[in-house]
Amino acid sequence: MNEQFQENMDQLLRLITSKPDTKAIIGSLFWAGALAARQFGTYRLANKGKGYRPQFGVTLISLALISTVLMDLIQSNLALSLGMLGSLSIVRFRTNIRDPRDIGFIFWSMAIGIAAATGRYFIGGTGSLFLAGIMLGTRKSAVNDQPMLLVVRGSSTDIDEIQDVVNQLAGTSAVKAKNILTDSFELVYEVSIARTEENRMIDRLFGLEGIDSVNLLACNA
């Protein structure tokens, strides 16, 4: 028991007094940056069209590099790691996640940084290949199911006919607002619709009598 305790204390002492390997740190940063760049390419391919945000892609690369730096600091200085743990615990993120897959990309960036800092290049590279395959494999369904807001305004028409068109062409739909006046109306739907059906829906709605405008907007734009 005492020997095991002494061995643990010796390992702790070596961790505290050890000096960081500058070459290893620089190498891990380059490796993390290269793998994060490939991740950025995967994100861009998997989110073509409305779901693609360049700022988020740049954030993924930055997050991978930041994770690498933090892990290098934690490994080289135990006291600093404890202080960092306390300071980071007060950070709160309140950004809305538009696509649930974005959470996967965020954790993927963190995993790249951790793998780079700990020298687990094979695990990081292999895991990234599998994750890239998963993200690209779900690309079609994710793009086609982007929720959108459909706003229909007009002077007079049969609202049931509008509902029929929405039901026929949208995968799912829900009425968000319905404003009916004596000489006009406004309907707001949240719809999930394939990109190939967007123009068809707009043309069908404009074909109805009394329709003045049809707007199709990305949610959380």
pLDDT in tens, 132-154: 888 888 765 544 556 788 899 88
Rounded (10°) CA dihedral 168, 169, 170, 176: -70
Domain map (residue ranges) of the chain: 2-142, 145-218
pLDDT of residue 143: 47
Fold of domain 145-218: Alpha-Beta Plaits (3.30.70)
DSSP codes, 101-124 = HHHHHHHHHHHHHHHHHHT-HHHH
Both structure tokens of 44: 């861009």
- How many CB atoms are located within 10 Å of the residue 219 CB? 13
Task: Report the predicted TM-score, pTM, of the whole model to 2 decimal places.
Answer: 0.57
Tell me the HSE value of 174 on the side-chain side, using a 13 A CA sphere. 5
Q: Give CA–CA dist 60/42, Å, rounded.
A: 11
pLDDT of residue 69: 83
pLDDT in tens, the chain (221 residues): 566 666 666 665 565 555 556 787 788 889 998 999 999 988 888 877 556 778 888 888 888 888 888 787 776 655 555 555 555 555 555 555 666 778 888 889 988 988 888 888 898 889 999 998 888 887 655 445 567 888 998 887 778 888 888 888 877 778 888 888 878 888 888 888 777 778 888 888 888 888 888 888 876 54
pLDDT of residue 211: 87
Choose among 30, 90, 20: nearest CA to 61: 30
pLDDT of residue 196: 73
pLDDT per position as a tens digit, 60-77: 888 888 888 878 777 665
